[in-house]
Chain A
């Protein structure tokens, strides 16, 4: 009997193989999605994956890509560049995906950049750092790589516009020693003169450090008007707590990676008054009705909280919308140009005026992100909540 079953299965498989060689490939459009589902950035990667599931569901319910549903193939990078490279290769050469979404962090993004270029599959990353979409000898070509979160340089510009506006021109930097922090330092120091801002102290800390009072003491002694911190994860909250502990009475500014209810939870009362650049998602209710993003953001929040209930485990934060925008742009491009790699790539590159959760995207061959300073607002912690900063 068992043998018969085996034979039957084989017959079915063979039949499928003969009848549907091309039809099977048309059944679904495969998109590979890999994020940090475990490891130190799992708290970013996991909700990103949930949003990816949500948006693919939405697209498929609305008829998929011209009638063909999207199939998401998920991988876990574990925050490990070597694992990310393996998964990217699997996506490209085994699963033969039409496009790739992810990974989560700058380090893993840089590790797969070359593989993606060699495999000629468009990848829309959700990483924070800019090097993935920067060219040049050292960083390699970025023809096939796009990213949906704002560039660090855009976040820095938005922050500096605000600082200049407030007359805070002497700043001290405290940055993480990882890839994201170093990317931040590069832009913070090179863009400062453009805004008439002077960086008078630079301190670094490890992303898993537990005490930053030594760095804060040195930063304070330099006599700045404001502290600017560039890191993601709990280290940012620890800086805020340590600042309160030392009684340093200076305004604290964080980067665009930290607007997250968790930040307030971890830093407690100390976070009161801290300001940071964020996507408009963080202050959806405060947006004017004339803002073109408002309906998209409202729809996103409705699906995220009311329909899928993700907010119980992962309250909406500034990262939440990035996977939505990445997949939406790729799906829109597929609707226009199909799934052939070259056509899809140039269709993504020509995306203009896509209104997303994180901003209005206008991509060009030089700019594979497409967001500018107007996609960000400065938010402030007030009474344990994020509100628009004055």
Chain B
């Protein structure tokens, strides 16, 4: 019985980390699907989400229900500003140029956060209470469950958005061929701005959900970004269900190898599996 309880606890630990990886992976995928690049500023949108939530709660004294949507909206706005002032003036369609631009923007954003919020770590209260849920003797934080539920919901909405709405279809068209999209009358500039707004919103959402577990600092997104990126690749870069599958798989691999093999080598085992998967399926598990 205790063996089963341990297994359950390892699975819960994996789900907690995995849900965080999945949500960050999702942010990478959205930008990839709309603009066709890897947006390295995505990780800073995550930190910003946490920062705005922190400011809303403790500087302005807003209640959680108000501060949370405000924080997400604020990061959405930052996403639009980044596109207007950072990406658009380059007038470039070259992916390499755009990717490097996002790296530069990421450094600027991080510098700005360092100036405004300082370098110290901060604690953000969770959305769903501190008391852990106990199932068959194993414990999981309600926040981890909330992350999973919201991530799943977000994926449903995203799939609908990209398949069923005009703006979503426009985004896919722009991603696949910008010139052709412009020729058929799609306002490419506005669609791109909307893409960054969406990326900012998702990053912000990830930030407000994840930072209560990870603690908040100006570079928290970067530290989580590496694992999130790996999760996105494992699941198949660009695929939404792939992001969740990749994130959860990576989290579970880590916690199960920490539980049953060696906690010192848990990252090794996780990344070896990642490599093996990519040898067999270079596009990732659900990649197209």
What is the interface of chain A, defined by CB distance below 8 A to chain B? 38-40, 42-43, 46, 177, 203-206, 208-215, 217-218, 221, 233-234, 237-238, 245-247, 262, 265-266, 268-269, 313-314
Given contacts A221-B6, A262-B121, contact A213 B139 (CB under 8 A): yes
With A and B bound together, what is the CA distance between A210 and B122 in angstroms? 15
A314 to chain B, nearest CB (A): 6
Q: What would be 30 A-B contacts, judged by CB atoms less than 8 Å apart?
A: A38-B119, A40-B223, A43-B119, A43-B120, A205-B258, A209-B17, A210-B20, A210-B214, A211-B13, A211-B17, A211-B213, A213-B9, A213-B13, A214-B14, A214-B258, A214-B259, A215-B258, A217-B10, A221-B6, A245-B141, A246-B9, A246-B132, A246-B139, A247-B139, A265-B123, A266-B215, A269-B130, A313-B118, A313-B120, A314-B120
Chain A residues whose CB sits within 8 angstroms of the CB of B17 once the complex forms: 209-211
List B254-285 residues whose CB lies under 8 Å from chain A.
255-256, 258-259, 262-264, 266-267
Q: How many A-B residue pairs have CB under 8 A?
A: 95
Determine whether the beta carbon of A46 is less than 8 Å from that of B121.
no
B163 at the interface (CB under 8 A from A): no
- Contact indicator per residue, chain B 1-26, by CB within 8 Å of chain A (1) or not (0): 01000100110111011001000000
With A and B bound together, what is the CA distance between A215 and B132 in angstroms? 18
Identity of the chain B residue whose Cβ is nearest the Cβ of A235 in the assembled complex: B215
Of B20, B114, B121, B263, the residue contacting A204 (CB under 8 A) is B263
Of B13, B215, B266, the residue contacting A234 (CB under 8 A) is B215
Chain B residues whose CB sits within 8 angstroms of the CB of A204 once the complex forms: 262-264
List B133-158 residues whose CB lies under 8 Å from chain A.
139, 141
With A and B bound together, what is the CA distance between A42 and B118 in angstroms? 10
Determine whether the beta carbon of A43 is less than 8 Å from that of B263.
no
What is the interface of chain B, defined by CB distance below 8 A to chain A? 2, 6, 9-10, 12-14, 16-17, 20, 114, 118-123, 130, 132, 139, 141, 213-215, 217, 219, 223-224, 255-256, 258-259, 262-264, 266-267
B36 to chain A, nearest CB (A): 29
Chain B residues whose CB sits within 8 angstroms of the CB of A265 once the complex forms: 122-123
Determine whether the beta carbon of A46 is less than 8 Å from that of B119.
yes
Chain A residues whose CB sits within 8 angstroms of the CB of B119 once the complex forms: 38, 42-43, 46
Chain B residues whose CB sits within 8 angstroms of the CB of A43 once the complex forms: 119-121, 217
Chain A residues whose CB sits within 8 angstroms of the CB of B264 once the complex forms: 177, 204
Chain A residues whose CB sits within 8 angstroms of the CB of B213 once the complex forms: 210-211
The list of the 7 closest CB pairs from A to B, nearest first, reads: A204-B264, A42-B119, A234-B215, A213-B13, A214-B13, A214-B258, A214-B255
Chain B residues whose CB sits within 8 angstroms of the CB of A266 once the complex forms: 121-123, 215
Determine whether the beta carbon of A211 is less than 8 Å from that of B16.
yes
Chain A residues whose CB sits within 8 angstroms of the CB of B219 once the complex forms: 39-40
Chain B residues whose CB sits within 8 angstroms of the CB of A203 once the complex forms: 258, 263
Identity of the chain A residue whose Cβ is nearest the Cβ of B222 in the assembled complex: A40
Chain A residues whose CB sits within 8 angstroms of the CB of B259 once the complex forms: 214, 217-218
Determine whether the beta carbon of A210 is less than 8 Å from that of B16.
yes
A262 to chain B, nearest CB (A): 6
